């Protein structure tokens, strides 16, 4: 399995935090990185998301 990182938006009203924590831990075997914002956090907080992607791919 390849290394995985999952960004978990803290204010997502579509997917529950508890459900996504369980999914990322059970299926991906990782603890998610919690980020501000809702379901569109990748757009609303694009600079922070880009930094996290850069960090995840440089390790």
Q: What is the pLDDT of residue 59?
A: 67
**What is the pTM (predicted TM-score) of this model?**
0.75
pLDDT tens-digit series, residues 1-48: 567 888 999 999 998 999 999 999 999 899 999 998 998 998 999 999
Phi-psi region for residue 29, left (φ > 0), alpha (ψ -120 to 50) or beta? left
Answer yes or no: is pLDDT of 49 > 70: yes
29-40: pLDDT as tens digits: 999 999 989 989
C-alpha to C-alpha distance for 9 and 3, rounded to whole angstroms: 20
Q: Within the chain, what is the greatest distance between any pair of CA atoms?
A: 31
């Amino acid at each position: 399995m390849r290394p995985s990182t999952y960004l978990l938006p803290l204010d997502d009203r579509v997917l529950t935090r508890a459900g996504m924590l369980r999914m990322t831990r059970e299926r991906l075997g990782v603890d998610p990185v919690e980020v501000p914002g809702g379901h569109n956090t990748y757009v609303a907080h694009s600079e922070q998301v880009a930094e996290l992607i850069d960090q995840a791919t440089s390790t």
